[in-house]
């Protein structure tokens, strides 16, 4: 009953694949049989190395695009060369830590542009590509969000607002796309060991870990495994904000 049919050759797009969670997600999807379209921005060399390694290790086709996900022209151009897509993983993101009263308009807009607007741009382009698929589901969208989008964090109001908006966007678009057989879900990460948390001292990291029931920081590969699970979940599972946080919130 209800087995998910996918095309023989599955292709996934992962934004922000040059480091951290996006890099781990690209590797997990390649291992799961996906050809990959990967994006990066300020680390094009790292992106090329990752693409080359995954191509070699898993014998998958991997293509790369370098550009700013908050730029709708870059996103449009990337999709103009795309003839097929099964899975969109919106992962690229930035954090901003600081008191709201000191935050500039530019930093606010940048946070929203990279974390939220980018997802509007990619989904807008991906939906018509998915609708051409003769598969069930026709395509899938997985947004990488944050527990701060659910509970909020002091000194991260803009980041929390951007991820809260991603969560609401996920739920709304899931309703809009359910009749078209396109599940939309989000993975709300807790404290994950990437360069995004590089500004924290060892003492600060231990203070965060002390609040986490799992008593440790999460691994990018654990988020990646959750992406692979969500990418093969029943299509009836849509509009969900799935936390991967060691029981934190």
Question: Which residues are designated catalytic?
Answer: 159
The nearest distance, CB 25 to ligand NAP, in angstroms, is: 9
Strands 140-146 and 62-66: unpaired
Q: Provide, rounded to whole angstroms, the least separation between the CB of residue 2 and ligand NAP.
A: 30
Which helix (H) or strand (E) segment holds residue 244: the answer is strand 241-244
Nearer to ligand NAP, 118 or 238 (CB): 118
**What six digits make up the tokens of 243?**
């936390």
Comparing CA positions, the residue from 196, 131, 124, 199 lying closest to residue 159 is: 196
Q: How far apart are CA 210 and CA 243, in angstroms?
A: 18
State the minimum distance, in angstroms, from the CB of residue 163 to ligand NAP: 7
Report the nearest approach of ligand NAP to the CB of residue 245 (Å): 8
Binding site for ligand NAP (CB under 6 A): 16-22, 39-43, 68-70, 91-94, 114, 144, 146, 189, 191-192, 194-197
Contact 56, 27 (CB under 8 A): no
Nearer to ligand NAP, 8 or 195 (CB): 195
Residue whose CB is less far from ligand NAP, 62 or 138: 62
Q: Which is nearer to ligand NAP, 178 or 214 (CB)?
A: 214
Distance CA 246, CA 249 (A): 9
């Amino acid at each position: 009953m209800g087995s998910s049919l996918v095309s023989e050759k599955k292709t996934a797009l992962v934004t922000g694949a040059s480091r951290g969670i996006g890099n781990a997600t690209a590797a997990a999807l390649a291992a799961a049989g996906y050809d990959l379209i990967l994006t990066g921005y300020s680390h094009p060399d790292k992106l090329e190395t990752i693409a080359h390694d995954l191509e070699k290790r898993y014998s998958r086709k991997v293509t790369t695009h370098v550009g700013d996900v908050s730029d709708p022209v870059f996103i449009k151009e990337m999709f103009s060369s795309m003839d097929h897509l099964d899975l969109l993983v919106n992962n690229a993101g930035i954090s901003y830590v600081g008191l709201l009263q000191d935050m500039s308009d530019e930093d606010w807009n940048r946070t929203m542009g990279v974390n939220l607007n980018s997802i509007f741009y990619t989904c807008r382009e991906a939906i018509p590509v998915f609708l051409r698929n003769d598969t069930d589901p026709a395509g899938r969208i997985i947004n990488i969000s944050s527990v701060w989008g659910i509970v909020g964090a002091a000194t991260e109001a803009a980041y929390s607002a951007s991820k809260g908006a991603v969560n609401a966007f996920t739920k709304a678009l899931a309703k809009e796309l359910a009749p078209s057989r396109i599940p939309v879900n989000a993975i709300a990460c807790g404290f994950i060991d990437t360069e995004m948390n590089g500004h924290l001292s060892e003492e600060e990291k231990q203070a965060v870990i002390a609040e986490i029931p799992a008593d440790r920081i999460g691994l990018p590969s654990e988020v990646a495994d959750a992406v692979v699970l969500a990418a093969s979940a029943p299509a009836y599972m849509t509009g969900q904000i799935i936390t991967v946080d060691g029981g934190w919130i």
